[in-house]
Structures are given as C-alpha cells and as structure tokens.
Structure 1
Amino acid sequence: MKTAILLVLAYLLGSIPSGIWIGKLFFKKDIREFGSGNSGTTNTFRVLGKTAGLVVFAMDLLKGTLATCLPLIFHLDINPLWFGLIAVIGHTLPIFAGFKGGKAVATSAGMLLGFAPLFFFYSLAFFLIVLYITSMVSAASIASAIFVTLSSIILPYIWPTILPTQNWLLTIVCLALTCYIIYRHKENIQRIKDGTENRVSFGLNKKEK
C-alpha cells in the first residue's frame, strides 16, 4: 500500500507544470500560447526570461530528484528508478495540465541526480559542452540523451568511480527516455537540418542580440 501511494505521489510531483504555474502566477501569461507552445524550460527562457527559466529548470529537475529519492526516504526496498520514471511520465503527461507536458529532459536529469549524482554531473558536463558548441538546447538534449544511454553501459567498465556497477534497468530506462526525447524533438531535428533551429545567447554559434 505504501508503495502504491508513493508511486502516485511520484506521478503527482512530476505533474507539477512549473512553467505554466510560474508564467500565470508572476507574469499573467500562459507560456503555451507563446513561443514553441511547449510548457518546458526552454520555452520558459524564451517567453519569460532568464530568471523564470532558471526557476522552472530547477523545479523540473528537483521534482525528478525528489521522486527518485522517495523509496530511500521511506525505506522501501525498490529500485528508485521506477519512481523517477513515474515522475518523468507525470512531467510529460501531467494531470494538472490536461496531460500535455514537457519533453522530459529536465525531469529525466533530475532522476539521474537522485539515482547517481556523479553520473548526473558527468552527463551535465557533456550537455554543456554540446550546448557551447552548437548554441542549441535541442541538439544538446538529444546528444546528451544518447550519450547517457551509451555511458550507462560503458562507464562501469572504464570509469567505475562515476558509475560503479552495471545496472541494466538504468540502461533500459535511459534508452526508453532517449527514444522519447528524440521523438518529442522531431520538429527541432528538422529545423536543425534546415538551419533554422532556435539558438541561445551562449556558445560558439550564439544568436545575435
């Protein structure tokens, strides 16, 4: 019974539509009506600015982390990844926002932070490098998702300090999320091919102000 309740709690945590709530509460805007129409971190940066974007990113990240830590907090002998995955599902299909949510990147990262902190920072470093090179959040998100999946297989053998043991559930979850992230970014991928993808004001190819 406790497990079922906490899984529901993980889903509800993931369902918190941070971008929508911040936009409506502080800016009187529904960010789904502006920019890309997405309720996630990137569109929040674009529509509401840097401060709001950072707050939404932190909220989306930490709800994944908190959900992943639920079995540790309540002393359940269950792999925390299940709770993190449920939170990601909540983020992408939020009950508080008509089951239309974000692209899973920030909350997936929060899941990694809760499950394997060193692996999270290792992955974050790769994300920032790709973001610096491309100046495109979408490209960095897709590349990082693929990188994380491959790293979950390889790291226990070549760099066990970062990821000490082989965890096939981690690899399966990362692979599933990678497929989903690529699917949700299909329009971004087409814009990258066309050379019209939005760029951020950071990195080697940053947009001009």
Structure 2
Amino acid sequence: MDYILFGLIAYVLGSIPTAVWVGRAKYGIDVREHGSKNAGATNTFRVLGKKAGIVVLSIDIIKGFLAAFLPFVFKVGEWQSDQLITVQILASILAVVGHVFPVFAGFRGGKGVATSLGVIIGIHPPAAGICIGIFLVVFIVSHYVSLGAICAALSFPVSIYFIFGIRSIWLNSFTILLAALVIIAHRKNIQRLLAGNENKMNLFKR
C-alpha cells in the first residue's frame, strides 16, 4: 500500500502543470503554443519573462522534492533502508513522469528537468549541489540551457557512485535511469546542438 499511495501522490504532484496554469491565469497564454512549445520553466522564461519563469521553476522543483521527501516524512522504513530508498525512487520516477505527461494538462508537459532537480534534492542534497554547480557553469559559459541540463543529469550518477561512494543497486540504477530520461527528453535539443542552431538564453541580460 505504501508503494501505491506514494506513487499516486507523486504522480499527482508531478502532474501539476505549473507553466500552463501560470501562463493562462496571469497572461492568458498557453506556453505550449509558443516558443519551444514546451510546458517547462525554460520556455516560460522565454515566453512569459523572468518573474513567471522563476515561479514556475521554483514550484516544479518543489514538486519533485516533495515527492522524494514524503516517504521519509511518513517514516516508511528506517533512514537509508532499502524500503525507504525504494519508495523514494518509485515516487521520484512517477513525479517526473507526471511532469512530462500531466493528467491535468492533456498529458502534454515539460521535460522534467526542474522536477528531477527537486527529486535529487530530496534524495541526496550534496549530489544535487554538484548538479546545480555543473549546470550553472555550463549554462553561463555556453548560454545553452539544454546543454547545462544534460551535463547536470550525467553528473548525478557519476557523483553518487564515484564521489559519495554509494553502492546501492536500486539507487545507482535510479540515477542512471533519471539521467537517461532527461537526455531522452532533450533528444531534439541534442540534434539542434549538433547542428549548431540550438536557442541560447542569457538570464543576466535585461
């Protein structure tokens, strides 16, 4: 029942289409009809501006964090026990799936990067710090959000295994799966990066 309950809660949390609801409520715009036609924070920054983008980014991160952290709050197993980690992983995956395929927005969502970050923060905050650092460095240098997200996603399994020395088959497999999901979601961006026509963004530009 723990698996079913937290899986359902996590999917519902992930399915909250922040970008769609903020765009419609405040601007009368469906962000999925503009820009990259993606219901995520990056497209919200492009289409609606920084204020809306920050709101969407923050809420999407919180969604993932709550999904990963709820099993711990409700004490599903002991700290770092196999049961707790398994429930966290299930909830985390379903939260990201909910963001990409939200039941409240016709199953047309975002790419799950911000929600994945929230998941990582909920499961392993130090690894999340490394991912954020790598994202910022790559993004600031290249101005490619997609490249920063891909590099950050790849750094998650690497940091968990090599830096923090965690040898849990469930957690290690999850980190690889999450990185793969982010990369698959960015497959079109990868094609544009290779072709040299990916969109750039400069958050520090007025």
The 3-state SS of whatever aligns with 2:175 is helix
Residue aligning to 1:49: 49
What is the DSSP-based 3-state SS (H/G/I as helix, E as strand, rest coil) of the residue aligned with 1:20? Answer: helix
Aligned residues: 198
Q: Deviations over 1:8-43 (max 9, x none)?
A: 111100110010000001111000010010001110
Question: Corresponding residue for 1:186?
Answer: 187
**Alignment pair present for 1:61 and 2:61:** yes
Cα RMSD after superposing both structures: 1.7
CA-CA distance at 1:3 after TM superposition: 4.1
Q: Deviations over 1:147-186 (max 9, x none)?
A: 21222210124xxxxxxx3333222122112222222212
- The answer for the alignment partner of 2:81 in structure 1 is none
Q: Describe the superposition over 1:53-109 as per-residue Cα deviations: whole angstroms up to 9, x where unpaired.
A: 011011110000001111112221232222112111111111111112211111111
Runs of 4+ in structure 1 displaced over 6 angstroms? none
Alpha-carbon distance between aligned partners in 2 of 1:141 and 1:105, rounded to the nearest angstrom: 7
How many Å apart are 1:139 and its aligned residue? Answer: 0.5
Q: Name the counterpart of 2:151.
A: 143
Distance 2:65 2:117 in 1: 8
Task: Using the TM superposition, give the Cα deviation of residue 138 of structure 1 relative to its aligned residue in structure 2, in angstroms.
Answer: 0.4
- Give the drift of 1:202: 4.7
Corresponding residue for residue 114 of structure 1: 122
For 1:198 and 1:171, locate their aligned partners in 2 and report how far apart those are by CA, in whole Å. 32
Q: Which residue of 2 aligns with 1:14?
A: 14
Please name the residue that 2:173 is paired with. 172
Give TM-score scaled by structure 1 length: 0.89
- 8 Å CA contact 2:3, 2:90 repeated in 1: no
Take 2:118 and 2:38, find their aligned partners in 1: how far apart are those partners? 19
1:5 paired residue number = 5
Aligned to 2:198: 197
2:37 aligned counterpart, secondary structure: coil
Q: Which moved more, 1:130-139 or 1:193-202?
A: 193-202
For 1:107-141, what per-residue CA distance to the aligned partner results, in whole angstroms no more than 9, with x for missing partners?
11100111111211121111101111111000001
The alpha carbon displacement at 1:2 in A equals: 4.7
Partner of 1:66, secondary structure, is helix
Matched, 1:104 2:112: yes
